[in-house]
Amino acid sequence: MSNSEIDNKQLSTIAKTLAYLCITSTDMKDQSLLDKAKFLRTLGFADKDVAALLNTSENSIRVLISLSKKSKQKKSKSKTHTKEGQ
């Protein structure tokens, strides 16, 4: 393994550790699984890593995010229909 591969692996471990501390040791610990997943994805973590940090499956993270997007789309469509009806 080259030095850059070792450095990348070490940086990845440090990033995951810091992210874990953020979601367990701050006000974020009281937030929903969806909020935590969105936060970790915003930081650039892959769904596999998000799932590992949140002690769940990769598929459940994908489904949770997908359902939240569909819910937002339905809400925005209903607001559009309400405005058009006025």
- pLDDT level of residue 86 (50, 70, 90 thresholds): low
Number of separate domains in the chain: 1
pLDDT of 80 above 70: no
User: Each residue of 64-77: pLDDT tens digit?
Assistant: 999 998 887 777 77
Residue 83 in this model has a pLDDT that exceeds 70 = no
What tokens were used for 43? 């930081």
Q: Which residue has the tokens 């699984």?
A: 33
Which structural domain, as residue segments, surrounds residue 56?
3-85
Report the pLDDT value the prediction gives residue 72, as an integer from 0 to 100: 76
Instruction: Specify the pLDDT at position 18.
Output: 93
Question: Using one digit for the tens of pLDDT, what is the confidence trace for 15-35?
Answer: 999 999 989 999 998 999 999
The whole-angstrom separation of Cα 81 and Cα 6 is 55
- What is the Cα–Cα distance from 61 to 50, expressed in whole angstroms? 8
